[in-house]
Structure formats: structure tokens, C-alpha cells
Amino acid sequence: MNTHVTQDTPEASPGTVGFAMQGDIAVLTIDNPPVNAGSHAVRRGITDGIAAACEAGAAGAVLMGAGRCFVAGSDLREFGKPLAWPELPDVIAAIEDAPFPVVAALHGVALGGGLELSLGCDYRIAAPDARLGLPEVSLGFIPGAGGTQRMPRLTGRASAIDLICRAARIPATEALTLGLVDGLAEGDLLAAALAFLREGPRPKRLARTLPPPPEDEAAIDAAARTALKRGKGRPNIAEAIRLVRASDGDAGTMLADERAVFQRLRLSDDAFALRYLFFAERTAGSVDGLDMTAALRVSAAGVIGGGTMGQGIVRALLAAGLSVVLIERDEAALATALSGIDASLGAQVARGRLSASGAEQRRAALSGAVDYGALSGCDLVIEAVFEEMSVKQDVLARLEAALPAEAIIATNTSYLDIDEMVQGLSHPERVLGLHFFSPADVMKLLEVVRAARTSDAVLASGLKLAGRLGKQPVVARVGEGFVGNRIYAAYRRRAELLVLDGAAPEEVDAAATGFGFAMGPFAVSDMSGLDIAWAMRKRQAASRDPQARYVTIPDRLCEAGRLGRKTGKGWYAYGSGSGAAEPDPEVAALIDAARAEAGVSPQSFDAGTIQRQLLAAIVNEAACLLDEGIAQRASDVDVALANGYGFPRWRGGPLYWAATEGRAELEADLKALAAAVGHGFRAGPVAEVLAGLDTGREG
Ligand code: COA
């Protein structure tokens, strides 16, 4: 028996389900730290607990979670293999068959299989802090234990399509409004659930047998259209919509249909890739041997520089509840930066993303100054000034003088050598890199850069801060471009060489988006502006190996005033009213000239070849930087690319992709890459890196 029986307290041994009688009510407590994932043992424990309650002649039962939440979902580690009996639908059947009402008491999160489990109960009571959702589609499959059937019978089909296809996690108050829960419990949750049962009568009430709420078909159609568009053609979205739409049909038939689709999709390529990424993301924020308890408390932060990046960082810090001092070089620049932040808070309110009182709180938590003396109360200061070594060194020296000894100093540099930057400081151990991506309050990725002298406590603080900001941290060592930008540079270089050798920019971009990238490399360049990379190339011109292949096209574009979208033209023209990118004959002529100058006879490349060459460049560069120890683990590279560079999540990441591809084909791609790059090409230890990557596909 997997149920741990206690006399009168609902406690359990970890990994099992506690059973206790409170008068004539059975209390089942799921205790599987840290998040009560619905493992096989938990499923057994619940069915055993229900059986024990029947045997004890219980008049009702409460199902709850110990620790921080109800149930965060089924145990994803079991999803790549055959599932052992009882499966979740068997557990729910036992609850439905019990002769007494069962109340699920929800706190923390009730997600995925956790929410489905509660929907299989007769009633649901939630703590006000609870969050509920069916996020399965974000993992490549669909709810498989009645989520697509029971939810719509409570909320209506349009809402269910929206919630399921958006993988939404909604607060308890919204769940109450939608009819997903029957009441909110202030104070003690168990006491509230027991009172709810005792106040009865609470007849059995199976969500599967409730009449579907009357609904406007047009609203269902609209929800389905929006979901399909957002779902970018992934097959699980269409299946989820189909099943919810049909949830007014025979429940038994529909539950069996849902289960069959779930069983197929949980073993699909998308699902394996997304599960891999799920665990890779959780690992990326950790450093072996690092004592996270050494992290310093950060409640007041400073930001130096109120440009686009600085403003984004301020917004991210404010959103996490920190107080922020923004420093600019003069009053005029400060006023511009502060009004920019003010305006974007206003825009968030207007879009319904932030409440008016929330915006006011953030405004009150922000102050500005032109004097570093205003930073004396800060625990952490992030500099986001011009990307120039001497400028940054000057800022760091001034910060060291102005800040209390224990305050952390972070640089948002995206390329510069932090070890060089801290030379001359008395306490370089207090400096780390926090490399945000623009817009800093939106983009998930945060590279946490561990410089040679960064202390463990400062590194731990950076990682903890990333969590508070809701960011996905990836730890990097110092090296030009760290992890993400370095790999991106190799990818962009390969894209440019493809153009020099015969592909059109729009063919390369179409191949990249065809693979699943959010945007192609040339559309990205146009969006971010071509001038920053141009300036960098000019700086590096003297040290460039003259024998290496050099693509002059971007320089020629810049010389022609084509700096990207901001000048109305770059790799593309943006002349027409819609602002859409259009291939431009002027660019084609410029490319032809560059080919002639380089003595290249243009070849044609099909989309598949372009895709595989772009991927080969990424994979090879990743192997190089892993070899140099810039990234900690192969899976961290996948996390960085999927969270900061528009790499399609459902492909797991470039190294996961490569590890699941045929080796012979990949070797041929790498050979072709070496030939195309030519002089100076460095082959990374790709085979070794891929051999060490656990894709989770075996065993
Ligand atoms: N199955 C297995 N393990 C899970 C899990 C699941 N469904 N959900 C979380 N975990 C594990 C994590 O891997 C992590 O393990 P680790 O400590 O060994 O790294 C641990 O639980 C804590 O999770 P983490 O995400 O680091 O904590 P958090 O406090 O930031 O977030 C949740 C907690 C529950 C919000 C988050 O884990 C989550 O969203 N879980 C998945 C929800 C989901 O998709 N459920 C549907 C599955 S059917």
C-alpha cells in the first residue's frame, strides 16, 4: 500500500500520500517534494487512499498537497516511457466511483495532470494564491486525463480553447469567475475544505456529466482561430481544439479519444524535445558546487545609463518589486530616460498588462540622479553604458568608490572582456556580467557571466536575481560574445557566406524561418541595425587575417546608408506602406558586385542545404566554446538559443537537434561548412559534445 496512514494528522512520508480521518472525512495529502509531481507512487497512493476511505465508511474526502503546492503536474520524467498502472484516468475513475464527494483543496499551483486530478474531484476549493492551468501544449502534447473534456463543461468551450492552447496559468480569482473552482478559502485551506463538505449537502458531482454550458458558436470559432494562429501549426494545438470543440459529445467516447491522442503525442518528437528543454532550463540556472545560500540580499538596485537597454533593465527590476535608482550623465538625459520609462508603464496600463495602481507603485519605487552618491543605498548596480572598454572601466571605478563595500557591481556588456574591465579595481570579486537581451523586461534570457575573479557569493546572487526577475539564466565564462552572441556571430557569418556564394538573402531567411526560427538572420540584422556590427568590424579591421574569407556586402550596405529598418532600407527595402520587407534590386546588384570582386561563381542552394549549413555553423561554434569552457554544459547552449535567439523550442535546441540527427549526414554538413569558411576555420569537438548530451530519448 502506497498510502501512509496516520492517526489524526494528514502527514505522509515523502513520495507517498498521507491518509487520516478527521471525524467522518478522509484527508489525503500528496507529499512528493519539491512540487508534488504526480509520479506512479503518488497515483498509487491516491487510489489506495480512496480505497481506505471507502473501507472506513467516510462521508467525504479532501485531496490536498503538502508543502508548496497542490500538484505541479504529472511527473514528466515518466512521460518518455510506458506508463505504469494506475494511470491518471484510473485514479480519477476511482475518485468518481467513490460513494462520497471528494473536494480538491488547491494551493500554490495545480497544473497539468494536477489540475486534471482536481477536475476529476466533485468540488474544488482554492487558496487565493493558487494558480491553475493546463500547460501541456507547451510541452508538445495535450491534456490526457480529461482536461479537454471536463474543463469546457465548467468554463465553456471558448474559454477552454483559450486557456489550454495558451498554456495559461490563471489566478484563483479568475478560476472562480470561470467556474473552475467552487470557492476561495481565506485562512486555513484544510479547515475551509472540511467546512465546505460539512456545510453540505454536497452530492456527487462529476464534471464529465455536467451539461455543457450554452455557448455562442461564433465565440468558439473565434477562440479556435486565434489559438491556431498563435500555435504556428504545431499538431497538438489542432488536436486540443478538436477535442474541446467535441466535448459536448459522449463523455466516455471523448475521454478515450483524448487519451489516445495524448498517448501518441507524449511520445512525439516535439514532446521529447520540449521535455528535454524543460529539464535543461532548470539545470541551466545551477552551477555545480556553488553554495546558493551564500547569495546576498538584493532589494535596492541602481542602473547606470538610461538608453534603450538601461530603461528595459529598470523596467525589469521594477517589475520584480525592487526599488531602483537610475543614473544618467546629465539632467536632460535623465529626464528623457525617466519619461521614457513613465510612458512605457502608461502603455502597459493602456494595454491591460498592468494595473494603474501597479504602475503607480513602480513609479514610486523609481528615482533618478546624475550623481553616483545617490547609489549609496544600493545592494547591486548594473551598468548599461556605451559598449566601449574605457567608458565601462571609468564607470566601474566610480562605482567602486561610491558603493558600500558589499554591494555587487554588474556589467551588461555583450562582448567586452570583463577580466580586462575589472583591472585596476580593488575588489574585482564583486563584479559579474549580467547580459540582458533587448527589450530587457521582455526577453527571457539572461547570461550570468562569471569573470575570473567573481566570488561565489556574487555569482549566486546573480543567479538568484535572475530567478526573481523571471529570467532564464545561463552561466557563461568570459569570452568574446559569451555564449549566445558568439554562436550567433558564427551563424550570421555562415548566412553571409551563403549569400556571397550564390543564395539570395530572402532565400536564406525563408530557409531559417522554414526551419522554425522566429526570423531569418537578415531580417534580424535589419531590425537591430547594421551599424553596430559595422563599427566593430572597423575596429577589428587591422587584426583581421587577410587570408580569411571576408564578406564585404554588409559594409557596402552601410556605406550606401542602408542601416536597416531605422533607415527604411538594409538587406531589404521597407518602402511600401505596410513596412514589410521586400527584396531590393539595389541590394541584388551590390551582392553581384561583391561576388565578382571576390571571384565567386554563384551556385544555387536549396532550402534544406541552407538550413543544415546554418545549423552546422551553430553546432560547430557551440562545440568550440564548450571546449574552451565558456559554457558549462551542452544543454545550456540549447537553453540560450531557445530563449534569446528565436530558435524553435519544439526542436529542443541546436545541440539536441544535432544529437538526434544522423551522424553521417551531420559529418557531411560539417565538412561542407569547413570548405565554405575556408582559411581559419576551426573544427570543434562536435562528436564528443553530442556523445555527452542526454537527449532523454533512450531508456
Ligand atoms: N515533473 C517532474 N519534475 C518537475 C515537474 C514535473 N511536472 N515540475 C517541476 N519539476 C521539478 C523541476 O525539474 C525541479 O527539479 P530540480 O529541483 O531537480 O531542478 C523542481 O521540480 C522545482 O521546479 P522549478 O521549476 O525549478 O521550481 P519553480 O518554483 O521555479 O517552479 C513550477 C515550480 C511548478 C511552477 C514549475 O516547475 C512548473 O511550471 N512545472 C511544470 C508544470 C507543468 O508543465 N505541468 C504539466 C505537466 S503534465
* Residue 541 amino acid letter: A
What average pLDDT does the segment 134-160 reach? 98
Domain 298-481 has CATH 3.40.50.720: yes
Identify the weakest region by mean pLDDT among 7-16, 125-134, 579-588, 639-648.
7-16
Please give the pLDDT value at position 1.
46
Cα(517) to ligand 1 centroid in Å equals 26
For the cut 70, the answer to whether the pLDDT of residue 599 exceeds it is: yes
pLDDT bucket at 9, cuts 50 / 70 / 90 = very low
For residue 254 the three cell numbers come to: 471523448
Domains of the chain, residue spans:
3-267, 298-481, 485-691
Using alpha carbons only, how large is the chain's radius of gyration in Å? 28
pLDDT tens, 305-351?
Answer: 999 999 999 999 999 999 999 999 999 999 999 999 999 999 999 99
pLDDT bucket at 5, cuts 50 / 70 / 90 = very low
pLDDT tens, 615-642?
Answer: 999 999 999 999 999 999 999 999 999 9
Cα(76) to ligand 1 centroid in Å equals 9
Residue with cell 538550413: 611
Please give the pLDDT value at position 535.
85
Please give the mean pLDDT across all residues of the chain. 95
Active site residues: 116, 136
For the cut 70, the answer to whether the pLDDT of residue 11 exceeds it is: no
Question: What is the maximum span of the chain, computed from C-alpha positions, in angstroms?
Answer: 89
Please give the pLDDT value at position 14.
53
What average pLDDT does the segment 61-79 reach? 97
What average pLDDT does the segment 542-556 reach? 94
Residue 458 has what DSSP assignment? H
In whole angstroms, give the CA distance from residue 597 to residue 147.
62
Which segments of 199-326 does DSSP mark as H helices, in order? 217-230, 235-245, 251-265, 269-284, 308-319
| Cβ atoms of residues 198 and 101 within 8 Å | no
Please give the pLDDT value at position 576.
72
pLDDT tens, 470-497?
Answer: 999 999 999 999 999 999 999 999 999 9
Is the pLDDT higher at 355 or at 9?
A: 355
For residue 182 the three cell numbers come to: 467552487
| Cβ atoms of residues 635 and 693 within 8 Å | yes
Give the CA distances from residue 143 to residues 27, 119, 138, 295, 531, in Å, rounded to whole numbers and listed in that order.
Answer: 26, 12, 11, 38, 47
Nearest CA residue ID for atom 19, ligand 1: 282
DSSP H or E segment with residue 432: strand 431-436
Cα(680) to ligand 1 centroid in Å equals 44
For ligand 1, say whether the CB of 113 is within 6 Å of any of its atoms.
yes
- CATH, domain range 485-691: 1.10.1040.50
For ligand 1, say whether the CB of 507 is within 6 Å of any of its atoms.
no
In whole angstroms, give the CA distance from residue 538 to residue 540.
5
The number of the ligand 1 atom at minimal distance from the alpha carbon of 76 is 1
For ligand 1, say whether the CB of 37 is within 6 Å of any of its atoms.
yes
What average pLDDT does the segment 562-571 reach? 95
For 652, left (φ over 0), alpha (ψ -120 to 50), or beta?
Answer: left
Cα(73) to ligand 1 centroid in Å equals 8
| Residue 331 CB burial class (10 angstroms; 0-12, 13-18, ≥19) | exposed
* Helix orientation angle between 147-155 and 235-245, rounded to the nearest 10 degrees: 50
Tell me if 298-481 shares its fold with 485-691.
no
For ligand 1, say whether the CB of 159 is within 6 Å of any of its atoms.
no
pTM: 0.93
Pocket test for ligand 1, best of 163, 282, 468, 649 (most atoms within 8 A of CB): 282
Cα(435) to ligand 1 centroid in Å equals 25
- CATH, domain range 3-267: 3.90.226.10
pLDDT tens, 373-398?
Answer: 999 999 999 999 998 999 999 999 99
For ligand 1, say whether the CB of 112 is within 6 Å of any of its atoms.
yes
Please give the pLDDT value at position 218.
97
The number of the ligand 1 atom at minimal distance from the alpha carbon of 138 is 44
For ligand 1, say whether the CB of 140 is within 6 Å of any of its atoms.
no
For residue 645 the three cell numbers come to: 535567439
In whole angstroms, give the CA distance from residue 95 to residue 120.
7
In whole angstroms, give the CA distance from residue 45 to residue 1.
7
Q: Is 672 helix (H, G, I), strand (E, B) or coil?
A: helix
The number of the ligand 1 atom at minimal distance from the alpha carbon of 35 is 21
For residue 314 the three cell numbers come to: 529598470
pLDDT bucket at 8, cuts 50 / 70 / 90 = very low
Give the dihedral of Cα atoms 167, 171, 173, 176; nearest 10 deg.
Answer: 40
For ligand 1, say whether the CB of 282 is within 6 Å of any of its atoms.
yes
For ligand 1, say whether the CB of 72 is within 6 Å of any of its atoms.
yes
